[in-house]
Amino acid sequence: EAQVTQNPRYLITVTGKKLTVTCSQNMNHEYMSWYRQDPGLGLRQIYYSMNVEVTDKGDVPEGYKVSRKEKRNFPLILESPSPNQTSLYFCASSLFGTSKVEQYFGPGTRLTVT
Amino acid sequence: GENVEQHPSTLSVQEGDSAVIKCTYSDSASNYFPWYKQELGKRPQLIIDIRSNVGEKKDQRIAVTLNKTAKHFSLHITETQPEDSAVYFCAASKRANNDMRFGAGTRLTVKP
């Protein structure tokens, strides 16, 4: 089954404790992206990647890191989480350079930083 | 950079009525405009999209229109049903994938 998976789905952590949210897709998509969703603000792009070893900042990259060592995985790293990073996070993937550009979203990760 | 504004933020209609959600964008180079539906507790899913070389696209009860000159596009849902209740997001992108900017969302409630 074609899908995007994220882990964990829920996470409560404390300020300053490094964490990683994993994202994996099995559709051989070149493009992957991370978004955060906050009430009234829609989906804001954090980082995106157009292929292996190619990453770029989105609108709200501060406090986040990503890596793209393999095509299928795109982990989101919070080196020192702060309460303002409490949010719902979505990973998404799609083909790139073709007419089929639908973004497939993962199930979401709800992060709470206390 | 691109800025996408979406209105209204909430919309309540009676079952069977039509619903219209409008978005404006700022960057005239944007050429791809998808609409996503997010049901409560679920992930966003693409419901329809339109490219800048097309003025209108329909898929059963949903349609999207694009006015490139005015830089706005709209989602139209006819004969609404309770299962259409969700948050709808518009987005605009200059290239097919990256640089995608989303609107703040519209919470649609269809009352039976």
CA–CA distances in Å: residue A104 to residues A5, A11, A40, B47, B70 = 10, 22, 22, 12, 29
Contacts of A99 in chain B (CB under 8 A): 96
pLDDT of residue B48: 95
Mutation target to probe the B interface, by most B beta carbons within 10 A, among A30, A102, A109 is A102
A107/B97 Cβ within 8 A: no
Partners of B44 on chain A (C-beta within 8 Å) are 43, 90, 105
Question: What gap in Å lies between CA A87 and CA A110, rounded to an integer?
Answer: 6
Q: Mark yes or no for CB contact B44/A33 under 8 Å.
A: no
pLDDT, position B72: 95
Token digits for B110? 């269809």
Taking 60 as the threshold, does the pLDDT of residue B89 lie above it? yes
- Interchain contact B102–A (C-beta under 8 A): yes
Average pLDDT score, chain A: 93
pLDDT of res. A97:
65
pLDDT at B93: 86
Q: What are phi and psi of B84, to 5 degrees?
A: -80, -10
Name every residue whose Cβ is closer than 8 Å to that of residue A14 and which is 6 or more positions away in sequence. Answer: A81, A113, A114
Residue B52: partners with Cβ closer than 8 Å, 6 or more residues away = B30, B31, B32, B33, B66, B68
Q: How far is A45 from B2, CA to CA, in rounded Å?
A: 12
Q: Do A59 and B101 make contact, defined as CB atoms within 8 angstroms?
A: yes
Percent of chain B with pLDDT over 70: 96
Q: How high is the pLDDT of residue B53?
A: 82
Is A88 touching B (CB cutoff 8 A)? no
Burial of A34 (0-12, 13-18, 19+ CB in 10 A): buried
d(CA A66, CA B101): 19
pLDDT tens digits, B2-28: 889 999 999 999 999 999 999 999 998
Ramachandran assignment for B2, one of left (phi > 0), alpha (psi -120 to 50 degrees), beta (any other): beta
**B49 and chain A: CB distance < 8 Å anywhere?**
yes
Taking only the tens of pLDDT, chain A with its 114 residues reads 879 999 999 999 999 999 999 999 999 999 999 999 998 889 999 999 989 999 999 989 999 999 999 999 999 999 999 999 999 999 999 887 666 678 899 999 999 999
pLDDT one-digit tens code per residue, B21-61: 999 999 988 888 999 999 999 999 999 999 888 899 999 99
